Structure formats: structure tokens, C-alpha cells
Amino acid sequence: MSIVQALPGSWLDTGDNAWQLTAATLVGIQSIPGLAILYGGAVKKKWAINSAFMVFYAFSAVLLVWVLWAYNMSFGKPWLQMPGGLGAFLGHIGPVTSAYDMEREAVIPSAAAGMPHLGYGMATMVYFQFVFAAITPIILFGAILGRVSFKAWAIFVPCWTTLIYSIGAYSLWGGGWLGQMGVVDYSGGFVIHLSSAASGFTAAAVVGPRTARDRENFQPNNLLITLAGAGLLWLGWSGFNGGDPYTANVDAGVGVLNTHIATSAALLTWTFLDIITYGRPSILGVVNGMICGLVAITPAAGYVNGIGAIVLGVCSAALPWVTWNWLGKTWLLRKVDDTMGVIHTHGVAALVGGLGVGIIADPKMIEYFGTNGDSNFSVTGAWYGNPHQFVLQCIGAAFIITINVIGTYILLKLISLFVPLRMDAEALMVGDDAIHAEEAYAIAAESKHGAD
């Protein structure tokens, strides 16, 4: 007898359960193989294997940390109550004790008092939240490609997930003080993208830049592979924003459609800016514009209408395009070697989307909790008469940036006491062959030993 047959069936919604598992898998595909091959194609040939390998490691390491303690730190019962009724910064530390727990209170964040009763057990919820936790350090990794050592990365990922990601997740999603205050983040604009950008930029500053040769010449080794990874990232985002209503309701469709509207608008905006400025479109520009749209709509997907999604898409590409192409030439942004421009495509774009919610959130859009009995829930932006929401979003953004910058700096400095943060000189010069004794394209080996 299956576990589902063994449990009472009155609470289980097979449609919701199937959608959450599907949405989670779509988000997982964004990491492996999505970002693995996007990074592997966008870097120099000598870094292709290492870049993809580090993604696979992070995905695996986060899962074990997640089920052993980090899920409960992010979504469990409060570890410590703050004065004034504010929730804790963290949930209690401990493993997920029962993957088939039928108590929805053990699954639903405590802040979500009006949230729908989920039609699935803890295993589905843990898996769904895991793929979000996993992609965050993987995005962060894009800022330090081509020089961070595996030993440092191996320690950093589980520690960062435990000590930094869980604080942001609990504060906004798990019943913590930001969520109780009224700060909203539909699907991770702050928790995932602003967090990874702030930590990635800090890590890039602490680890140091790539070699001078790599910074001068870092041509992608395979743009078609890069586009394949970007395509998986784009379509996988349907699970990113479509799964966060936690049920297969109208909001899931709204979140998915708004995601693709904003992304299309952003991609076209970045492309047109490239053409106007440089006379031709850029493939990497297309990818950057796409990512900006995906990131910006993430905190807003269920809160804005279709016009709002287009506005966010255009703004999310235009502003990062300016920071990348113009402000990127300033002293600070040139000194800190952010390999994939994570601070622009994830940091600036996340601010556009997260703060944009405070301006253009349409109170008529959200069905989210209303379907299940709480018709009073809505998010209203300044454009619709609630400027305070913008203030709240600014507070949320400031907290996420602060905790990630300070936490990442301290964590890396502590790790550096035990292992070097950077690869050694030979590895930095040779790349994959020195680190893994493997190459992405064994053309030289075939020439040396002859074709089969």
C-alpha cells in the first residue's frame, strides 16, 4: 500500500500536490542543468568544467543542509521572540522529522495565518522550498567564477545557507519580523536575488579579481550552450513564480503569465539599447535582459497586472543596462570583479521589482488567500493609494542587503583562516585541466592520440 493510500484522503489535493512537485522540479532544472550550462558556456573554455561542477556541488550540499536543519531555521517554529510582537530572525534548529507529516501547521509559515490549508504534506513543501534555497548560492557563484577554490566553496555553501539565507527566508516568509511588518516578496526578489547579488558582490571583493589575462579576455566558449542554459532558466521560471501561491489557483496562472510578459519586455529593451548604442544586438545582452526581467517580476508576479509587468520589464532592463555599461566603468565597480555581473542583473533588477511592488501593486490582482476564506488580504502600492508599502519595501531591501554584506564578509574571513579562498597560481593559469584533469572539449587530446 502506498503512503498516500495509507493516509486519510480528506486533506490531500492531488492536483495541488502534483503542481507543487512539478513547479519545484522546474525550479530545480533552472540550477541543474540550467545555470550549470549557462555558466559553462559563458566562461572561457578553461573554466567550463569547473564552473558547471561547482553548481552541481552546491545543489547537493544545500539539500542535505536543508533537510537536516536549514528548512526548520527558515520555516519552523520561532527560536526566539523579539520585543513588541515581532517574530524571530530564525526558526528553531533541527531536522525535518517526518516527510509525511499531515499537520499543515508544521508546513505553513507561521506568518501565513490566512494562508490556504495546503493539500499536501511536508515532503512536498520541503522539496519546493529547497530548490529556491539551492539556486541562491548558485546565482551568487556567478560573481566569483574563475578564481574561488573548491575547498572554500565547499565550506561556504552550507555555512552561508545556514547562517545567512535562512535569516532572510525566515524574516520575510517564515513568520519573521519583516513579514509581520507587511513587507512582501512574492517569490524571492529579496530573499533570493537581492541576497545573492549583495553576497556575490561582497564575495567578489573579498576573494579578489580573476587574473589580469582573464579579465582582459573572457570570451564565452560556447554561446549556443549559453542560450540553451538561458532557455531552461526562462521556462523553468514558470515554476518559480507559478508555484508560490502554494495551490493551483488563479494566481498561479497570473504569476506565470506576468513572468513571461516582463521577461519579454526586458529582453527586447536590452536588445534595443544595445542596437541604439553599439549598432548591433548582443547574444550576451539578450541573456542579460532576459535575466533582468525574470528577476524583477519575481517579487511582484502575483501583485501587479499585465501593464505593471510590462513596466517592470522595461525598467528592469533599462536601469541595469545603465549600471552595467556606464556606472560599471566607475572605480568601485571596476575594482570588484563580478564575473557575470550579478550585481546588475540580480541586484539592481531585484530592487526594481521589489521596490516596484511598493509603487504599482494592484489590490485587485491578488486572489492568493481570498479563495480560502481570507478576502481581506491585498497588497496595494503607492499608485493605488498606499505609499507606505513603498516604505516597507525599502526597509526589507535594506535589511537583506545589510545582513548579506556583513554576514558574507565575516564568513569568508573566517573560512580564509582554514583554507585559501583563491585557487593557486597554476590553477588560475591553466583552469580545468589543472583542477580536474578534464577538459570541456578534448580536441587537443584527440589530436595527440589520434581519432578513434
Number of domains in the chain: 1
Among 188, 227, 240, 215, residue whose Cα is nearest residue 350: 188
**Distance (Å, whole) CA 68 – CA 72:** 8
Is pLDDT larger for residue 125 or for residue 390? 390
User: 251 pLDDT band (50/70/90 cuts)?
Assistant: confident
Q: Please give the pLDDT value at position 250.
A: 86
Asked if pLDDT for residue 330 goes beyond 80, the answer is no
* 4 domain-assigned: no
* 216 domain-assigned: yes
- Dihedral of alpha carbons 157, 198, 292, 71, sign: positive
Q: Can you state the angle between helices 388-415 and 150-160, rounded to 10 degrees?
A: 140
**Distance (Å, whole) CA 35 – CA 24:** 16
Q: Can you state the angle between helices 122-141 and 150-160, rounded to 10 degrees?
A: 140
Asked if residues 51 and 153 have their Cβ atoms less than 8 Å apart, the reply is no
Show Cβ contacts of residue 184 under 8 Å, excluding neighbours closer than 6 positions: 299, 303, 357, 361, 379, 389, 392, 393
pLDDT digits (tens, 9 = 90+) for 417-440: 999 999 999 999 998 889 888 888
Per residue, what are the HEC states of the chain? CCHHHHCCCCCCCHHHHHHHHHHHHHHHHHHHHHHHHHHHHHCCHHHHHHHHHHHHHHHHHHHHHHHHHHHHHHHCCECCCCHHHCCCCCECCCCCCCCCCCCHHHCCCCCCCCCCCCCCCHHHHHHHHHHHHHHHHHHHHCCCCCCECHHHHHHHHHHHHHHHHHHHHHHHCCCCHHHHHCCCCCCCHHHHHHHHHHHHHHHHHHHCCCCHHHHHCCCCCCHHHHHHHHHHHHHHHHHHHHCCCCCCCHHHHHHHHHHHHHHHHHHHHHHHHHHHHHCCCCHHHHHHHHHHHHHHHCCCCCCCCHHHHHHHHHHHHHHHHHHHHCHHHCHHHHHCCCCCCHHHHHHHHHHHHHHHHHHHCCCCCCCCCHHHCCCCCCCCCHHHCCCHHHHHHHHHHHHHHHHHHHHHHHHHHHHCCCCCCECCHHHHHHCHHHHHCCCCCCHHHHHHHCCC
* 367 domain-assigned: yes
* 348 domain-assigned: yes
- Longest CA span, the chain: 74
* 59 domain-assigned: yes
Other residues' Cβ atoms within 10 Å of the Cβ of residue 218 = 16
Mean pLDDT within 179-194? 94
pLDDT digits (tens, 9 = 90+) for 202-222: 999 999 999 999 998 899 999
**Distance (Å, whole) CA 47 – CA 87:** 44
pLDDT digits (tens, 9 = 90+) for 24-60: 999 999 999 999 999 999 999 999 999 999 999 999 9
Is pLDDT larger for residue 127 or for residue 95? 127
User: 311 pLDDT band (50/70/90 cuts)?
Assistant: very high
Is pLDDT larger for residue 44 or for residue 109? 44
The average confidence (pLDDT) of the chain is 86
**Distance (Å, whole) CA 321 – CA 328:** 10
* 13 domain-assigned: no
Among 131, 133, 136, 71, residue whose Cα is nearest residue 99: 71
Q: Please give the pLDDT value at position 102.
A: 41
* 6 domain-assigned: no
* 1 domain-assigned: no
Q: Which residues of 352-377 are buried (b: 16+ CB within 10 A; e: fewer)?
A: bbbbbbbbbbbeebbbbbbebeeeee
CA dihedral 35, 342, 346, 282 (to 10 degrees): -80
Q: Please give the pLDDT value at position 213.
A: 92
Q: Please give the pLDDT value at position 8.
A: 47
Asked if pLDDT for residue 287 goes beyond 60, the answer is yes
The boundaries of the domain holding residue 402 are: 22-449
CA dihedral 301, 303, 305, 311 (to 10 degrees): -70
pLDDT digits (tens, 9 = 90+) for 382-392: 999 999 999 99
User: 80 pLDDT band (50/70/90 cuts)?
Assistant: low
Question: Domain of 363: which CATH number?
Answer: 1.10.3430.10
Q: CA-based angle 59:393:346, to the nearest 5?
A: 40
